[in-house]
Amino acid sequence: MSVYRQTQSPHEVVVVDDGSTDNTTAMITREFPDTRYIFQPNQGVSSSRNLGIRLTSGEWVAFLDSDDEWLPTKLAVQIEQLRTNPTMRICHTDEIWIRDGTRVNPMKKHTKFGGWIFQHCLPLCAISPSSVLIQRSLFDEIGLFDETLPVCEDYDLWLRICSCLPVLYVDTPLLIKYGGHPDQLSRKYWGMDRFRIRALQGVLAMGHLTHEDRDAAIETLIRKASVYAKGARKRGKFAEAAEYENMCVEYQPSR
């Protein structure tokens, strides 16, 4: 487990098993006896992460999804960067992508950024959960992962955080993301933009966006709602299509 190969050891490790049916329980007990292991019936990724947050006590929280791997200096580099940038409350890193066993280059739209990145977060998820180190107190202010979202829960959280705060970015790959397997959540749901649209509605309802960020969020919502409505009509979901078409009229940028 890459958590235990870190040059900077974590203060505590919690594994939340969200209803696995393999030998995870025996493996964790045998190989990682110092780990706090919690099993829950399948309740989704947001519930699992939120439970992990509640069960830990450190000032900083990191996540590691089951199909990701931290490189050995991940925590050490981030901790040092946060020491030299003491006003920053969230840090993420560059990453390596492996698809079906082969390293691939992310497309330009997946480029990572630091600073005030709210508008970079609008098209798609701009931060990988497994790359972050986040100050615990942020969850008290911003809220936890939205457990009503089966996917795009990370997109929703980054919108809420990045609408209020700048982000520290380490331009070094410190995470390996493995993809291409058939059980990825991104392959499970048709029309995933409907969950991103809900997230956009939520951050707009918070009422604190700057004029420029609000207009950018509305333009993104309208674009996503329009595409989703067309897809719904093609599938014969006429009531759903009308709902999203009306949404395009309801939300209008100020300029």
Residues 221 and 167 in one domain: no
Task: Report if residue 14 sits inside a domain.
Answer: no
Which residues touch 242 (CB under 8 Å, ≥6 apart)?
Answer: 229
| Region for 53 from its dihedrals, namely left if φ exceeds 0, alpha if ψ lies in -120 to 50, beta otherwise | alpha
Task: Report if residue 164 sits inside a domain.
Answer: yes
Report phi then psi at 205, rounded to 5: -70, -20
pLDDT at 94: 97
Residues 167 and 241 in one domain: no
pLDDT at 116: 98
pLDDT at 205: 97
Residues 215 and 176 in one domain: no
Rounded to an integer, what distance in angstroms lies between the CA atom of residue 72 and that of residue 1?
11
pLDDT at 191: 85
pLDDT at 183: 55
User: Which range of residues forms the domain containing residue 203?
Assistant: 193-250
Rounded to an integer, what distance in angstroms lies between the CA atom of residue 163 and that of residue 152?
17
Look at residues 204, 206, 194, 210 and name the one whose alpha carbon lies nearest to residue 252.
204
Rounded to an integer, what distance in angstroms lies between the CA atom of residue 216 and that of residue 202?
14
**Cβ–Cβ under 8 Å, residues 201 and 149:** no
* Tokens, residue 8: 């900077």
pLDDT at 29: 87
Residues 202 and 88 in one domain: no
Bridge pairing between strands 68-70 and 60-62? unpaired
The DSSP bridge partners found for residue 60 are: 135
Burial environment of residue 244 by CB neighbours within 10 A (0 to 12, 13 to 18, 19 or more): buried
Which residues touch 51 (CB under 8 Å, ≥6 apart)?
Answer: 16, 38, 40
We report the CATH number of the domain holding residue 164 as: 3.90.550.10
Which of 187, 221, 241 lies at the terminal end of a domain, its last residue? 187
Residues 60 and 149 in one domain: yes
Task: Report if residue 69 sits inside a domain.
Answer: yes
Residues 78 and 169 in one domain: yes
Residues 144 and 95 in one domain: yes
Residues 177 and 220 in one domain: no
Q: What is the pLDDT along the chain (255 residues), one digit of tens a residue?
A: 899 999 999 999 999 999 888 888 889 989 998 899 999 998 999 999 999 999 999 999 999 998 999 999 999 999 999 999 999 999 999 999 999 999 999 999 999 999 999 999 999 999 999 999 999 999 999 999 999 999 999 999 999 999 999 999 999 999 999 987 555 555 566 789 999 999 999 999 999 999 999 999 999 999 999 999 999 999 999 999 999 999 999 998 775
